[in-house]
Amino acid sequence: MPQVLIVDDDPSIRALLSKALSNMAEIHTATGWMDAMKALSVKRYDTILLDLHMPGVGGLALLDILSKKPGPNRETPVFVITADTTEGARAQALARNATYFLTKPLSIMTLRNLVEGVLKKHAFKGDPPSTGGSGH
C-alpha cells in the first residue's frame, strides 16, 4: 500500500487529511520539524503533505533539505498545504521543488484526485514499494 506522510502542527488538520486519504494509502503523521526529520530518515514515502508555516523550523526549510540532500525521499512528491496565499510563499515553495501548492481552505476532493494521480504515476513507473519505519 502507498505510504503518505502528513506534516502539520495542527492536530485537526492532520486528522482531516488522514481521514481523507486513509482508503488510498497508509498514513503517517509528523507534528513538526523534528518528527518529520525522524520519519523521513528511515522510510521512503510515496507522497508528503507539508504545512508551510509551523512553530520553529517551517516547511520551506524541510523542502530545502529534501531537495538538496541525498536520502530516501529526495524525489518524493511534496504537496504544500498552507493558509499563506501570497505569491511569494507560492514561488518559494515551487522553487524548492514542491509538486503542488494548495491553499486552505482546501477542497478535499481536489486533494484526493491529485494524490491519487501522483500515486498512480509512481506505481506506473514501477517504483519499489515503501519499506521500514512505523506510523504515528
Cα separation of the two ends of the chain: 16
DSSP 3-state of 23: coil
The whole-model pTM stands at 0.87
Residue ranges and CATH numbers for the domains of the chain are 3-125 (3.40.50.2300)
pLDDT in tens for each of the 136 residues of the chain? 999 999 999 999 999 999 999 999 999 999 998 899 999 988 999 999 999 998 888 899 999 988 887 788 988 999 999 999 999 999 999 999 999 999 999 999 999 999 999 999 876 555 444 433 333 3
What residues are paired with 103 via a beta bridge?
A: 82
